[in-house]
Amino acid sequence: MRGETESQGVRLSSAQKRILGYISAETTLSDGVRCSKKELAKQAGCSVQTVDRAIFRLRKLGLVEVEECHAESGAQTANLYRAKR
């Protein structure tokens, strides 16, 4: 997926590449990853703010989709992140 992105002229930061790579790998293994932005930040070795900006850009580029998840009480829980194919 990253190779396709680069060949289409889209440049990603190193943090965006790490986040996309992690989400892509988890999507291949188990149809996505359900985690918080804090957990994504730890995995990618960056700040939560960087993850927030990266996810915004990756969604805008159509590379990642985010499904909000909620508990029965209505409280938001960790989101489900998937790489689009």
Question: Could you tell me which of 56, 58, 53 has the C-alpha nearest to residue 23?
Answer: 58
Average pLDDT over residues 44-67: 97
Q: For 72, how many CA atoms within 13 A lie in the half-sphere containing its CB? A: 0
Instruction: Return the pLDDT at 7.
Output: 46
pTM of the model: 0.84
pLDDT digits (tens, 9 = 90+) for 61-70: 999 999 999 8
The answer on pLDDT for 50 being more than 70 is yes
Mean pLDDT value of segment 53-72:
95
Domains along the sequence of the chain with CATH = 2-83 (1.10.10.10)
- What digits encode the pLDDT tens for the residues 17-35? 999 999 999 999 998 999 9
